[in-house]
Amino acid sequence: MTNGVIQFGKKLREVRLKKKLSQGDVAKILGVHRSYISGLGRGMRNPSLLTVQKVAKALGVTAEKLISE
């Protein structure tokens, strides 16, 4: 995957852990399977801009925070 996807995954994991949320918690908020969140966090899935926005909203951060280096 591209560096941007890997960076997004790292930020997702970082923010999720800071907020003490499990992959299952985030998945439940978004209405997706836990393995989807796992794939995002490992940089194995290439999220659309809409997905980035939904994840950011679920975590209570801006999309920019998740995609910036």
Q: Which domain holds residue 50?
A: 3-58
- pLDDT tens digits, 16-28: 999 999 999 999 9
In a domain, residue 65? The reply is no
In a domain, residue 66? The reply is no
How far is it, in rounded angstroms, from Cα 48 to Cα 64?
A: 14
Instruction: Give mean pLDDT in consecutive 10-residue pieces for the chain, a chain of 69 residues.
Output: 88 96 96 97 94 96 91
Task: Give the CATH number for residue 47.
Answer: 1.10.260.40
The predicted model scores a pTM of 0.89
> What is the predicted pLDDT for the residue at 27?
97
In a domain, residue 41? The reply is yes
> What is the predicted pLDDT for the residue at 2?
76
- Cα dist from 9 to 35, 46, 52, 57, whole Å: 13, 10, 10, 15
Phi, psi of 45, deg, nearest 5: -120, 140
> What is the predicted pLDDT for the residue at 1?
62
* Overall number of domains in the chain: 1
